[in-house]
Amino acid sequence: MSSARIELQPAWLLSQKPYRETSELLEVLTPQHGRVGLVARGLRGPRAKQRGVVSLFRPLLLSWLDKGELGTVTAVEAGGPEVQLVGERLFHGWYLNELLLKLLPRHDPHPALYAAYADSLQRLTGSALEAEAALRLFELHALEELGYGLPLTEAFDAAGHYRYLGEHGFVACAGGTRGALAGVSLNALRAGWLDSRAVLDDARRLLRAALEPQVPHASLRTPQLLREMRAFGSNKP
Residue pLDDT, tens place only, 107-120: 999 999 999 999 99
226: confidence class by pLDDT, cuts 50, 70, 90: confident
What average pLDDT does this structure show over 178-197?
96
Integer Cα distance of 24 and 20 in angstroms: 8
What average pLDDT does this structure show over 197-219?
96
**How high is the pLDDT of residue 21?**
80
Residue pLDDT, tens place only, 21-45: 888 999 999 999 999 999 998 776 5
Residue 184 above 90 pLDDT?
Answer: yes
**How high is the pLDDT of residue 13?**
97
Residue 76 above 80 pLDDT?
Answer: yes
| Torsion (CA) 100, 106, 111, 115 in degrees, nearest 10 | 30
Dihedral over Cα of 77, 80, 83, 84: its sign? positive
Integer Cα distance of 209 and 216 in angstroms: 9
Residue 228 above 90 pLDDT?
Answer: no
Residue pLDDT, tens place only, 131-158: 999 999 999 999 999 999 999 999 999 9
CA separation (Å) from 219 to 131, 154, 215, 223? 22, 32, 7, 10
**How high is the pLDDT of residue 53?**
82
pTM score:
0.91
